[in-house]
Structure 1
Amino acid sequence: MAWLSILDYRAFMKLLVFGLGYSALHVSQRLQMSGAQVTATVRSRAKADELAQVGIAARLFSPDHAGAEIVDDIAASDAILISVPPGESGDPVLASFAGRIAAAPNLRWIGYLSTVGVYGDHAGNWVDETTPTTPGKGRSRLRTTAEQAWLALGAHVFRLSGIYGPGRNQLVQLASGAARRIVKPGQIFNRIHVADIAAVIEASLARPRPGGIYNVTDNEPAPPQDVVAFAARLCGLEPPAEIPFERAELSPMARSFYSENRRVRNALIREELGVTLNYPTYREGLTALRALGDGPPA
């Protein structure tokens, strides 16, 4: 694997994305604007046809199907971004292509999108990249195992906090009537605007450090009910009534998020990668999204 220093990597970079979800699509579009050529895997032919309209070559990939053309894509790629979650049987990308990725002749960068959930519960205390991982939830344990395997291949690991952005935020929840102010005393969540995720990935591509781990989160962990209240004020609405956590009707997955409480530091992306967040708190992020039209009609 050739870890090369490329002065203007974006102008001709070939990026292969495994799993083109919400975050990975925003990363891809940002790099496309700088001239990168993007190929991505998807699970359906309909999604592949949709991506062709925005200049992204798509390949079908699932744990049960790995097209032969992906092998050629790996060999031709300068960078690979993995946004596919692991399953009970492990990481599907590693299961299908670990050897090919390790032997890729042009590859200078691998990125793996993980989660701050790998830290587990810290009773509201601060964690950073040096904090040992103690995942409590099953899906976070799977992420931790996948992280270690990707780090062994020289990947950069990005631990993402709660992701929001266009079409996915509390303003949209207010518009649909789904917003709730659930209050669990002392509970905070960490979050990050999707545009800032893309900025961090771009900065890492410019300054690769194989094996690096980065927390990708904004500057201000905050109680979830405060975020909903701020979104309501932006829309000129009264915030939804507070609901005590004990009385809230939540799915098992939603309830599990409240079982862990931590504050995540982001100093490394700022100090090592030189990233200045466009949306350092939820206030700047939601204000910008409201200006773009998210939320109830004015």
Structure 2
Amino acid sequence: MDRMPMNLHPRLFCFGYGFSAASLGRRLAARGFVVAGTCRTENKAEALRAEGVEAFTFGDSPLADPAAALGGTTHLLLSVPPGETGDPVLTAHEADIARLAPQLEWVGYLSTTGVYGDRSGGWVDEKTPLKPGTARGRRRLEAEEAWRAFAARTGAPLHVFRLAGIYGPGRNQLRSLMDGTARRIVKPGQVFSRIHVDDIAAVLEASIAKPRPGAAYNVCDDAPAPPQEVVVYAAELLGREPPPEIPFDKAELTPMARSFYADSKRVSNRLIREELGVRLQYPTYREGLKALLEQP
């Protein structure tokens, strides 16, 4: 892996300092980065500041002082999901980020494998045509395209990361079994790809060390699997009986939950391995869930 850029005071700013961004922030802080990011409430911002993060509120309203918040940023991570009216970061701060573009060494946009749409369980890679079949997937593709257009106008060194289903501490099938919320929904032929949150951070860190502006990467593990298989394995680890099978057509699901089942595909991670040299800490959900047993 190439060496990390040796700026005297590199600064990561994350629009949306959530689950994935925080995992990256912790890694880069340990390497001497100043880490900053946004959250929706002042209470959350205070909690982040106590952890050493320069925190700012963003969401219901723009940054109060964009120049102060963004000043000195060398690396920019975008992890705020698009809404029905487009990408909220571009809507609120396109001009501010454009002014920042000349000093940016790396920009990452966190997208989703949903942009590929349904492939009836078939494989996709970064060269597969993008054909989202859900409203969520279409919004993500529109946001990708909007950020690519922004990068073309400004020279911002944009990288797109298409994330599979994310799990990690506090968000996994062990936790849902312990909470009594896990369900074993069976839809014949359904298969998902997944990724542990720490492996997302490893991919982003590898890209920062070896930037290729304009690149898109699939971020997923080596083992796409039916969702019910993961529930059964998690139950085995806990020494519990798995919940009963529920046929998909009988399951009561929210519209968002149902939309996850609209797409069935296997996602290739060859590019992150071959180009970025990433070796996943959790190459399948089995290693990931075993590691989470101590702190689910």
Question: Aligning the two structures, in what range does the TM-score lie when normalised by the shorter sequence?
Answer: over 0.9
1:209 paired residue among 209, 212, 234: 212
Q: Does 1:120 align with 2:120?
A: no
Greater shift after overlay, 165-174 or 31-40? 31-40
Q: CA deviation at 1:86?
A: 1.1
Q: Report the residue type matching 1:210 in the other structure.
A: P
Cα distance in structure 2, aligned partners of 1:99 and 1:230: 49
SS of corresponding position for 1:62: coil
Uncovered stretches (5+) of structure 2, i.e. residues with no partner: 152-156
Aligned to 2:87: 91
Aligned to 1:263: 266
- Written as runs of structure 1 = structure 2, the 5 A alignment for 1:63-212 is 64-68=61-65, 70-104=66-100, 105-152=102-149, 153=151, 154-212=157-215
**Aligned residues with identical type, % of pairs:** 56
Q: Does 1:12 align with 2:16?
A: no
Q: Report the residue type matching 1:96 in the other structure.
A: A
Alignment: residue pair count: 288
Q: Report the residue type matching 2:295 in the other structure.
A: G
Q: CA deviation at 1:64?
A: 2.8
Residue pair 1:215, 1:269 contacting (<8 A) in 2 also: yes
Q: Report the residue type matching 1:76 in the other structure.
A: G
Cα distance in structure 2, aligned partners of 1:134 and 1:30: 34
> Residue 225 and residue 97 in structure 1: after superposition, are their counterparts in 2 closer, same or farther (change >3 A)?
same
* TM-score normalized by the length of structure 1: 0.93
Residue pair 2:62, 2:92 contacting (<8 A) in 1 also: no
Cα distance in structure 1, aligned partners of 2:185 and 2:280: 28
Residue pair 1:13, 1:37 contacting (<8 A) in 2 also: yes
1:37 paired residue among 27, 34, 44: 34
SS of corresponding position for 1:112: strand
Residue pair 2:134, 2:262 contacting (<8 A) in 1 also: no
RMSD, matched Cα: 1.6
Uncovered stretches (5+) of structure 1, i.e. residues with no partner: none
Aligned to 1:293: 295
SS of corresponding position for 1:114: strand
Q: Does 1:242 align with 2:245?
A: yes
2:43 paired residue among 38, 42, 46: 46
Aligned to 1:252: 255
Cα distance in structure 1, aligned partners of 2:31 and 2:174: 30
> Residue 7 and residue 188 in structure 1: after superposition, are their counterparts in 2 closer, same or farther (change >3 A)?
closer
Cα distance in structure 2, aligned partners of 1:273 and 1:234: 33
SS of corresponding position for 2:218: strand
* TM-score normalized by the length of structure 2: 0.93
Q: CA deviation at 1:102?
A: 2.6
Cα distance in structure 2, aligned partners of 1:118 and 1:11: 38
